[in-house]
Amino acid sequence: MTSTRELDILVDELLAAHDPAGTAPLDFLRARFDAGLAWVHFPPGLGGLGAPRSLQARVDARLAAAAAPDNDPRRIGIGLGMAAPTILRYGTDEQKARFLRPLWTGEEVWCQLFSEPGAGSDLAALATRAVREGDHWVVTGQKVWTSSAHVARWAILLARTDPDVPKHQGISYFLCDMSDPGVEVRPLRQLTGEAEFNEVFLTGVRIPDAHRLGAVGQGWTIAQTTLNNERVAIGGRRTPREGGMIGILARIWRERPDLRTHELHQRLLAGWVDAEVLRLTGERLGQQLAAGQPGPEGAAAKLAFARLAQELSGLEVELLGEEGLGYGDWTMVRPDLVDFTGRDAGYRYLRAKGNSIEGGSSEILRNIIAERVLGLPAEPRTDKDVPWKELSR
Is residue 18 in some structural domain? yes
CATH number reported for the structural domain that contains residue 298 in this entry: 1.20.140.10
Is residue 389 in some structural domain? no
Is residue 308 in some structural domain? yes
Look up 230 and say whether it is catalytic.
yes
Q: Are 253 and 261 in contact (CB under 8 A)?
A: no
Is residue 392 in some structural domain? no
The catalytically annotated residue of 116, 230, 297, 316 is 230
β-strands 110-113, 129-133: how paired?
Answer: unpaired
Is residue 216 in some structural domain? no
Q: What is the CA radius of gyration of the chain?
A: 22
Closest CA to 152 of 99, 115, 93, 190: 99
Is residue 22 in some structural domain? yes
The model's pLDDT over 188-209, given as tens digits with 9 standing for 90+, comes to: 998 888 898 899 999 999 999 9
pLDDT at 296: 67
Q: Are 32 and 63 in contact (CB under 8 A)?
A: yes
pLDDT at 1: 56
pLDDT at 326: 83
| Boundary residue ending a domain (19, 37, 70) | 70
The whole-angstrom distance between residue 262's C-alpha and the CA centroid of its chain comes to 38
A 10 A CB-CB count for 220 gives 18
CA 349/CA 323 separation, integer angstroms: 13
The whole-angstrom distance between residue 296's C-alpha and the CA centroid of its chain comes to 15
Is residue 271 in some structural domain? yes
Q: Are 82 and 229 in contact (CB under 8 A)?
A: yes
pLDDT at 343: 83
Closest CA to 71 of 106, 44, 108: 106
Closest CA to 178 of 83, 320, 44: 83
pLDDT at 188: 93
Provide the domain count of the chain: 2
The whole-angstrom distance between residue 381's C-alpha and the CA centroid of its chain comes to 28
Q: Judge if pTM exceeds 0.85.
A: yes
pLDDT at 219: 98
330: three-class secondary structure by DSSP: coil
Q: What is the pLDDT along the chain (393 residues), one digit of tens a residue?
A: 578 899 999 999 999 999 999 999 999 999 999 999 999 999 999 999 999 888 998 999 999 999 999 999 989 999 999 999 999 999 999 999 999 999 999 999 999 999 999 887 789 999 999 999 999 999 999 999 999 999 999 999 999 999 999 999 999 999 999 999 999 999 999 888 889 889 999 999 999 999 999 999 999 999 998 988 777 666 556 678 888 899 999 999 999 999 999 999 999 999 999 999 988 887 777 666 655 556 666 778 888 889 999 999 999 999 999 888 888 777 888 888 777 777 889 999 999 998 888 877 888 889 888 888 888 998 888 888 899 999 887
Is residue 245 in some structural domain? yes
| Domain containing residue 15 | 7-70
Q: Are 211 and 204 in contact (CB under 8 A)?
A: no
| Boundary residue ending a domain (44, 70, 96) | 70
| Boundary residue ending a domain (22, 52, 70) | 70
